[in-house]
Amino acid sequence: MAHREVQGSFISHIGILFATFFRIGTFTIGGGYAMLPLIDREFVTRRKWVTEEEMVDIIAVVQSLPGIISVNASIFIGYQVAGILGALIATIGLIISPMIIIALFAYLYINLQDSIYLQGLFIGVRSGVAALILLAGIKLGRKVIKDWISLLFAVVSLAAVLFFQIHAALVIVSAAFAGLILFGLLRVRRTP
């Protein structure tokens, strides 16, 4: 298998992958980026299975490929930690709670009328998630933004999605080409 060796036994890795993605699948509301703080905490900070730079690469790849961002992320990290079986187990862990919730909804016709409690709950969760993503972004950014060129890349891509509504996958592909030309062909030197 081509996956990278990480410390500890295979079985315990499979168990940790399942448990962690189960928690992510159960507790993150609001799509791909909402899971970033949890993944960063568990796999980068705590277990050091993934470096900050790799985390950023994973975010880029999972957004540029077809499919659901969080599912793609579970496959990528699962594969990196424990091969194909790791990818499968991580994905099952991620989607099992949502599937059970939807099955209950489909059978019981649970009524989800907008209530003031629910409204408060969502405002609260979104505010909290915004704060968590900000902190995770600063942590990853410190490893990645090292000079004026990288800062420029970050600012231009933020402006592209924020002001010009350009699709994130297109931003990533453009940045890949710009990187290839600047650093690969023109050999621009990085001066921190």
SS3 140: helix
Token pair for 146: 């090292």
Size, binding site for other proteins by CB under 8 A: 109
- Asked if 47 interacts with other proteins (CB under 8 A), we say no
| Cα–Cα distance for residue pair 158/170, rounded to 1 Å | 12
Measured from the Cβ of residue 10, the count of other Cβ atoms closer than 10 Å reads 13
- Asked if 28 interacts with other proteins (CB under 8 A), we say yes
CB of 22 to other proteins, least distance (A): 11
CB of 9 to other proteins, least distance (A): 21
Nearer to other proteins, 47 or 168 (CB): 168
| Cα–Cα distance for residue pair 8/21, rounded to 1 Å | 19
- Asked if 32 interacts with other proteins (CB under 8 A), we say yes
Residues 129-158 within binding reach of other proteins (CB under 8 A): 129-137, 140-141, 144-145, 149-158
Nearer to other proteins, 48 or 167 (CB): 167
| Cα–Cα distance for residue pair 177/179, rounded to 1 Å | 5
CB of 12 to other proteins, least distance (A): 20
CB of 17 to other proteins, least distance (A): 14
Measured from the Cβ of residue 167, the count of other Cβ atoms closer than 10 Å reads 11
Measured from the Cβ of residue 14, the count of other Cβ atoms closer than 10 Å reads 20
In the stretch 69-108, what mask flags binding to other proteins with x, by CB under 8 A? Answer: xxxx--xx--xx---x--xx--x---x-xxx-xxx-xxx-
CB of 141 to other proteins, least distance (A): 5
Token pair for 68: 């659901």
- Asked if 31 interacts with other proteins (CB under 8 A), we say yes
Helix (H) or strand (E) holding 177: helix 168-179
